[in-house]
Chains A and B, each alone.
Chain A
Amino acid sequence: MIWDLHCHLSGVTGDTPHERIAKLMRYADRMGVERLVFFMGFPWSKDPAPDDLRRQNDQVLEALEHWRGRALGFVYLSPKHVEASLAELERCVANGPMVGVKLWVADRCADEQIDPIIRRAAQLKALIYQHTWWKAGGNGEGESTPLDLAKLAARHPQTTLICGHTGGDWERGIRAIRSRANVVIGTGGSDPTAGMMEMAVRELGPRRVLYGSDIGGRSFASQIAKVSGADLSPAKKRLIFGENLRRLLTPILQEKGLPL
């Protein structure tokens, strides 16, 4: 069972979300990916205005229409626009089919301005994915590091937060969030460097590690290989490939009547 935490409507041609997701699903079929979580539309915007957030979320909603249950959606929000983001949370999660939140690089997540979004998402049982990177050449202005996420996690110890990309520089990223039990890592969107998954499981335990791909910029292949190629037991691989994500999404899927 493979559940993919991290998918975008990119890497394939198509004028509409329908066309794009249909093409992506053909690759998912080839690779045995059962469920896929999509967030953000196209073209991307690093610092989206409220109307752009709405436009991109509409695209994901459109993509989900014909794939209900198999394709899941996280609503794209920005801590720079808290009121608009809260409105999108109501529209897309409380009153819509989405089951999580995507936070990208508009502003760093350590800042307390993001807290109303985190609190409301937690009330809705929405799973929260925060992009993180630790770049040797320096992060973008609003780009969070895993240490930023650790600060956020300390303020919201009862809320599960996903450390996107494992911080990119995973050897430091894993350490940065290790002591925060409410933080899990999303392993997609980096090179398939050997040893990554072994270290993650050694330091965090297998229940805090989630498979994701970051298609279409990445391939399913390179990201699935991180799990299938790792020196880990089959039981641990099953947790990472899908059982962990299913466990974390179970409350909101049940509430929405979506299949488990």
Chain B
Amino acid sequence: MIDVNVYLGQWPFRRLPHDGAAKLAAKLRGQGVTQAWAGSFEAVLQRDIGGVNARLAAECEEFGEGMFQPFGAINPNLPDWREDVRRCQEDYGMPGIRLHPNYHGYELDAPLFAELLDVARERKLIVQIAVKMEDERTQHPLLRMPPTSLAPLPKLLEARAGLRVVILNGLRNWRAPVVEKLASLGEHVAFEIATLEGVGGVEKLIAHLGVEHVLFGSYSPFFYLESAVLKLKESELGGVQRNAILKKNAARLLAT
């Protein structure tokens, strides 16, 4: 079972019951997760991204007995961000990067974002894009952050065939045309289910997009891990579909 959306470090606005690599690893293992793709909460607001990624890599190495695959953060608005990409891949052996465009102050139609996609494609890195971190209605009043609009993304990906992209926390409105448009680009574009809502959501989603685009993601420890686990129980799924969501699709992305 592969969870493509977990975070290490501390969320800036509250302590979470399972924050910290050791506690989270134990929690994940208890639900049958064998591999988790981890970003860092510290990347959301801190500007020393190099330090954040170094700590993330060290934590993933030290804790979890191979549970965590680190996905370093890149902020293309910071000077010399290409060096951060290089370190993620060459120094830490990360399979991909995780972006937080809204918190880092750019839209997906920004030229810097297109440059970042080019670099990721050249380096054959998976790009994870976190659409949002929290329901905008419950955000701290001093730090309100609208979700990232995915509208420019299909055109950018059309011009960068084969670039592997995983959308995180992006399915609250899964019927949005841009979701379907992104899925139509191919199996290398996928979504995880942490923010998917609605009764029987997973079975409806795979009927809409195709199972090959759907990954297991919990957004743990921000969300209760059981939320994503129970979504697979609530929907009526066959064994092949279940295996694709829980493991096969993510493993395919990682191996490509």
**Contact residues of A with B, CB < 8 Å?**
11-12, 24, 27, 30-31, 133, 135-137, 168-171, 190-195, 198, 215-222, 224-226, 228-231
Contacts and interface: CB of A to CB of B under 8 A. Distances in A.
Q: Which residue of A11, A168, A194, A230 has the most chain B CB atoms within 10 A of its CB atom?
A: A194
Interface stretch (B46-54, B74-82, B147-155, B222-230): B222-230
Contact of A137 (B15, B18, B144, B197): B144
Contacts of B220: 194
Nearest to A172: B138
A217 B136 CA distance: 17
A219 B224 contact: no
Interface stretch (B58-66, B231-239, B247-255): B231-239
Contact of B16 (A133, A136, A194): A194
Given A12-B199, A217-B197, A222 B138 contact: no
Contacts of A170: 138
B199 A231 contact: no
Interface of B: 14-18, 134-141, 144, 195-201, 220-231, 233-234, 236
Contacts of A11: 198-200
Q: Which residue of A215, A220, A229 has the most chain B CB atoms within 10 A of its CB atom?
A: A229
B141 A194 contact: no
Contacts of B226: 192, 224-225, 228-229
Nearest to A138: B137
Contact of B227 (A137, A168, A229, A231): A229
B224 A221 contact: no
B193 to A, nearest CB: 10
Contacts of B229: 221, 225
B234 A220 contact: yes
B234 A191 contact: no
Contact of A194 (B136, B221, B231, B234): B221
A221 B135 contact: no
Contact of B198 (A191, A193, A216): A216
Contacts, number: 116
A11 B175 CA distance: 13
Q: Which residue of A192, A220, A224 has the most chain B CB atoms within 10 A of its CB atom?
A: A192
Given A11-B198, A191-B223, A216-B198, 11 more contacts: A11-B199, A31-B233, A136-B136, A191-B195, A193-B134, A193-B223, A194-B16, A194-B224, A220-B234, A224-B230, A225-B225
A192 B227 contact: yes
A49 B197 CA distance: 30
A221 B230 contact: yes
A138 to B, nearest CB: 10
Contacts of A220: 199, 230, 234
Nearest to A230: B224
Q: Which residue of B221, B230, B236 has the most chain A CB atoms within 10 A of its CB atom?
A: B230
A219 B135 contact: no
Contact of A136 (B14, B138, B234): B138
Contacts of A228: 224, 226, 230
Given A11-B199, A218-B197, A171 B14 contact: yes
A230 B134 CA distance: 19
Nearest to A27: B199
B182 to A, nearest CB: 22
B67 to A, nearest CB: 18
A215 B137 contact: no
A177 to B, nearest CB: 17
28 contacts: A27-B200, A27-B234, A133-B137, A136-B137, A137-B144, A168-B137, A170-B138, A190-B138, A191-B195, A191-B223, A193-B223, A194-B223, A195-B15, A215-B199, A217-B198, A218-B199, A219-B196, A219-B200, A221-B201, A221-B227, A221-B230, A221-B234, A222-B230, A224-B230, A228-B226, A229-B226, A229-B227, A230-B224
Contacts of A222: 197, 223, 227, 230-231
